[in-house]
Amino acid sequence: MENKFAFAKTIVKEAGDYILEHMKEDLHVERKSSPTDLVTKLDKDVQDLLIEKIHSRYPNDSFCAEEGCLRAAVGQGSVWVIDPIDGTNNFVAQGEDFAVMVAYFENGVGKFGIIYDVMKGDFYHGGGDFPPCCNDEPLPPFKKKPLREFLVAGNSGMLETNEWGLADLGNAALGTRVYGSASISFAKVLSGRLLTYISYLQPWDYAAASILGESLGYKVLTIAGKEVDFHTRQAVMMVPVEMQDEILSYIYERK
């Protein structure tokens, strides 16, 4: 597994370099499901690049990835879960606050996760048998404090409608943030800067964070406190297990 992990880190760094090299070119922005659901030529190119490299080294592995229709079930065999550019709207409009994410599973067991915040240069890697780190520095295990001392994050739509009580939770906490990217928000949870991140997410949005967070005391759950399915789009939250009940007391009540 160490070789596979080293290989994964290398190709994600290469994907970051590829983005840096090409992000000033015409991005060929297109709309997917809605006027604000963007995809660029680079999302597709970076995904192709990652899959090509993995496939030529590990031809029997399969893929679950954001662009196109690769949807391997995470529970069976050796599966790579890939989000080539998470936070595409930030990428297009800001040129920052986006990340490359890769997660690797064997028969449903997360072996490692990688989140690469390309512009900040923060490279989160580990989980499974590997210590979760940012830029080779160990990430801090979750440390309990009063809810009032933590910031929380979610998506703006949920905040507007107080869906699942996100606004109530934020008002009981120190405040609510909206970064417009799962990877950037999860990275802030993993580094102890946010208590939780709550949003509607696909497997490639949360796979890497869920593997990275496990030994630090975090879990990615549905908003009802159940296991995520790694298959459909679900309302999802990453929470420290130690404060899960307190968080759910704001969230779950609204169901």
Structure tokens at 160: 């507007």
End-to-end CA distance of the chain: 41
Counting contacts by CB under 8 A, is residue 174 touching a second copy? yes
Is 193 a binding residue for a second copy by CB under 8 A? The answer is yes
* Residues in contact with a second copy, shown as a per-residue x/- string from 74 to 93 under the rule CB under 8 A: ---------------xx-xx
Interaction between residue 115 and a second copy (CB under 8 A): no
40 near a second copy (CB under 8 A): no
**205 labeled binding residue:** yes
- Please state, in angstroms and rounded to a whole number, the distance separating the CA atoms of residues 139 and 126: 10
Residue 155 vs 210, nearer CB to a second copy: 155
Nearest of 171, 175, 168 to residue 152 by alpha carbon: 175
User: What type of residue is 86?
Assistant: D
Residue 36, interface with a second copy (CB under 8 A)? yes
12: CB partners within 8 A, 6+ apart: 50, 100, 102, 114, 116, 123
Whichever of 61 and 96 has its CB closer to a second copy, that residue is: 96
The token pair at 4 is 């596979």
Q: Which amino acid is at 219?
A: K
- Is 156 a binding residue for a second copy by CB under 8 A? The answer is yes
85 is known to lie in a ligand binding site: yes
Q: How far is the CB of 107 from a second copy (least distance, A)?
A: 37
Q: How is residue 142 annotated by DSSP?
A: P
Query: What is the per-residue DSSP string for 198-217?
Result: EEEE-HHHHHHHHHHHGGGT
Smaller CB separation from a second copy, 47 or 88:
88
3-state secondary structure of 146: coil
Which two three-digit tokens encode residue 35?
A: 């006027």
Nearer to a second copy, 108 or 146 (CB): 146
Residues 195-254 that bind a second copy (CB under 8 A): none
Coil, strand or helix at 239: strand
Question: Does 52 engage in binding with a second copy (CB under 8 A)?
Answer: no
178 binds a second copy (CB under 8 A): yes
Contacting positions for a second copy (CB under 8 A): 35-36, 38, 89-90, 92-96, 120, 148-151, 156, 159-160, 162, 167, 170, 174-180, 188, 193-194
Residue numbers in the known binding site for Mg(2+) are: 66, 83, 85-86, 205
Residue numbers in the known binding site are: 66, 83, 85-86, 205
